[in-house]
A = this chain, B = another copy of it.
């Protein structure tokens, strides 16, 4: 660690592109969803996660983890979604402490309404911009990076 290895021209280009694309994309997606159906991107993702589940329900902590969000942040958002009638809280049967978030019919409806526009935007702004090779490189490279970050190595090996 004594010698900071700076980023090369190419590395810097990649890093900046990654940062910029992330920031811009998040902004656009938020905007698109807000305009079209009145959801934030985070809220949309919550609905997606629930919908992907067999019984359309998930434990709070599990959901928070899958979204890379804090538990308290999720508590807040679920409360919002509950007020909007898109999600319901339900006690967990086997674990008295547990709470499950369940997608309501209105929630599914909303998702069905929101998804096409969202996917179209993701396509237009990112997916369809990439060449097939770039797409695979992104899937493999960023996939590997996020996999490593998930495996609780809070500070990494050294």
Interface residues of A, Cβ cutoff 8 Å to B: 1, 4-7, 10-11, 13-18, 20-28, 67-68, 115-116, 119-120, 122-127, 129-131, 133-146, 148-150, 156
Contact = CB atoms under 8 A, between A and B. Distances in A.
B130 A20 contact: no
Nearest to A156: B124
Contacts of A27: 68
A130 B14 contact: yes
Nearest to A135: B14
Given A24-B149, A137-B138, A138-B138, 12 more contacts: A14-B138, A18-B22, A21-B143, A21-B146, A23-B67, A24-B68, A129-B141, A129-B144, A133-B137, A137-B137, A137-B141, A138-B142
A145 B125 contact: yes
6 contacts: A6-B119, A7-B127, A10-B135, A10-B136, A17-B146, A24-B68
Nearest to A116: B4
A156 B125 contact: yes
A124 B120 CA distance: 33
A138 B24 contact: no
A142 to B, nearest CB: 4
A37 to B, nearest CB: 14
Given A134-B137, A137-B141, A119 B4 contact: yes
A147 to B, nearest CB: 9
